[in-house]
Amino acid sequence: MKLAAREYGSGGQPFLLLHGLGGDMSVWETLAPQLNGRAVAVDLRGHGQSPDGPWDWEAVLDDLDTTTVHFGLADPVVVGHSLGGILAAMWALRHPSCPAAVSLDGHRSATTDPENYAGLPDEQLQTGLARLNALFTAQLETITRPDRSITSFLRTAPEFMDALPVFAKATSPFLLVLATRNLPVPPDLLPLMDAHRAGLRRDLPTICPNVRVHEIDATHGMVVERPAEIAAIVNHFVSNRSNA
């Protein structure tokens, strides 16, 4: 599948930029020009201006392979936001020569296994998960792109629900930029969001000792909230990856 894409810059370190679920390549418009190199941002299949198609991890990675060949990106640094961050890890597994991969707050679905939360009583955890799942279900009713087949697949995909086991297999230098503030949610769901983050902080050092974690004072929308800071973090990581 040929993806819609946009190129930023003309030389230096190549970057491949991957947006999150429901997003498109426009999310990188401010950040991409601040990277130290040549960047290509894509619309993933079923998103933005790219064609529709069934979601299968290997097929999506094939799309990205086709894009890198088309643009002549040899061993790009892959930077992904949310879903794109999970794909960045998968790309690094498929391409062991990948010089570095960065996930911008792409790690676990907000509705993951109850064991992945920390510090919340079980009854409150179960109530919060039921409430959040109901909100997500209602939200999906209003979304036309990506289509229901993609959102349904991802919502239950083990890699989307918890990408930490994928991260743990990465041999390329890997950076996870973790948001420390919550997106606007109903007040009764704030404890669930805090427990989700606490579970990540608990589990990352043991499950993914290979992953470098950088926390940032931003929400999940960090790419548009703090583009200059994110670009600086990525540039520093890439330039110092041999010490990561």
Percent with pLDDT over 90 in the chain: 93
Judged against a pLDDT cut of 70, whether residue 220 lies above it is answered with yes
Cα dihedral: 171, 45, 230, 38 (round 10): 80
Q: And the tokens for 82?
A: 């949310």
pLDDT in tens, 160-200: 999 999 999 999 999 999 999 999 999 999 999 999 999 99
pLDDT reported for residue 243: 54
Q: Over the stretch 8-35, which tens digit does the pLDDT of each residue have?
A: 998 899 999 999 999 999 999 999 999 9
Is the distance from CB of 16 to CB of 209 less than 8 angstroms?
Answer: no
In the predicted structure, residue 244 carries a pLDDT above the cut 70: no
Check the CA dihedral 177-4-137-226 and report its sign: positive
Residue 149 dihedral angles phi and psi, to the nearest 5°: -65, -35
pTM to 2 decimal places: 0.96
Class (C level, CATH) for 5-243:
alpha beta
Question: pLDDT band for position 77 (50/70/90)?
Answer: very high
Spell out the domain ranges in the chain.
Answer: 5-243
147 dihedral zone (left: phi>0; alpha: psi -120 to 50; beta) = beta
Cα dist. 59→1, 45, 64 in Å?
9, 9, 9
Q: Token pair of 86, please?
A: 């999970």
Q: What is the pLDDT of residue 242?
A: 57
Rounded Cα distance, 192 and 214, in Å: 22
Distance CA 97, CA 93 (A): 9
